[in-house]
């Protein structure tokens, strides 16, 4: 069954919110241009995405694969809402979780060299209903590389849920099955997303400033 998932569209000229209106660590005071998506809105949208996923994949054992490092906060909140749904169903859905780490960025540019960090046994996904949790789809190259590796081991089905989908001229045209927000072609940090490993500790999805890019440049 093909899933038709609705998406919140964030306009190219979205003004966002003044970071001073939120609880932002003082060390990042000059490093953020704006708060693009506040944490409360992320949580509300995540709860809705979980409802869509559970409707699509109901009554199946789901093997959830979280893409690290960026996806860890989205995954944690996503799993929390899945557990809530499971507790309130007459018949809960069995779940297993696993993690895979991939890397392709240095500073604010993709290196084009997509790597799986460490070892991962893809054969454990054979015959299973796989849900990949990703924080952001940029060009789509990373997720398509991962999907290719997963599908080589014949899962029963594979779905992808991404909190963010970026509108970028570099896009390969890939669109995940479940999308939280479609955002402009801006480099975003926070809520697990980093710039050279900084900003992951922010609760909100924010646009980094030029000052921040220069300060934390590798």
Q: What is the pLDDT of residue 1?
A: 40
Count: domains in the chain: 1
Q: Is residue 182 part of a domain?
A: yes
pTM of the model: 0.90
Dihedral of CA 193/197/202/207: which sign? negative
Nearest CA-CA partner of 4 in 48, 52, 54: 52
Overall size of the chain counted in residues: 218
Query: Residue 71 belongs to a domain with what CATH number?
Result: 3.40.50.2020
Cα angle: 91, vertex 96, 102; to 5 degrees? 145
Per-residue pLDDT of 83-141, as tens digits, reads 888 887 776 778 899 999 987 655 566 556 777 887 889 999 999 999 999 999 999 99
The DSSP H or E segment spanning 77 is helix 72-87
Q: Is residue 2 part of a domain?
A: no
Q: Is residue 89 part of a domain?
A: yes
How many CB atoms are closer than 10 A to CB 186? Answer: 19
> Quick one: average pLDDT of 1-16?
78
Q: Is residue 173 part of a domain?
A: yes
Rounded to the nearest integer, the mean pLDDT of the chain is 90
Nearest CA-CA partner of 181 in 134, 121, 112: 134
Q: Is residue 143 part of a domain?
A: yes
Q: Are 10 and 157 in contact (CB under 8 A)?
A: no
The pLDDT-based confidence of 3 (bands split at 50, 70, 90) is: very low
Q: Are 117 and 206 in contact (CB under 8 A)?
A: no
Chain centroid, CA 132 distance in Å: 9
Q: Measured between alpha carbons, how far is 180 from 133 in angstroms, rounded to an integer?
A: 12
Structural domain of 138: 8-215
Note the maximum CA span of the chain: 53
Q: Is residue 1 part of a domain?
A: no
Chain centroid, CA 180 distance in Å: 9
Antiparallel, parallel or unpaired: β 32-37 and 157-166: unpaired
């Amino acid at each position: 069954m093909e899933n038709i998932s609705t998406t919140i569209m964030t306009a190219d000229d979205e003004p966002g919110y003044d970071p001073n209106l939120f609880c932002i660590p003082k060390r990042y005071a000059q490093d953020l241009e704006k708060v693009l998506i506040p944490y409360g809105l992320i949580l509300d949208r995540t709860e809705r995405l979980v409802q869509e996923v559970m409707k699509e994949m109901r009554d199946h054992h789901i093997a959830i694969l979280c893409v690290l490092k960026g996806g860890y906060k989205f995954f944690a909140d996503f799993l929390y809402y899945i557990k809530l749904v499971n507790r309130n169903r007459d018949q809960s859905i069995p779940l297993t979780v696993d993690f895979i780490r991939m890397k392709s960025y240095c500073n604010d540019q993709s290196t084009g060299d997509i790597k799986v960090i460490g070892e991962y046994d893809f054969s454990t996904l054979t015959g299973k209903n796989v849900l990949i949790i990703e924080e952001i789809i940029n060009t789509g190259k990373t997720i398509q590389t991962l999907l290719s590796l997963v599908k080589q081991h014949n899962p029963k089905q594979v779905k992808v849920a991404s909190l963010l989908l970026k509108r970028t001229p570099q896009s390969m045209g890939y669109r995940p099955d479940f999308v939280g927000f479609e955002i402009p072609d801006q480099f975003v940090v926070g809520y697990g997303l980093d710039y050279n490993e900084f900003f992951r500790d922010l609760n909100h999805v924010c646009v980094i400033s030029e000052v921040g890019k220069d300060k934390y440049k590798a």
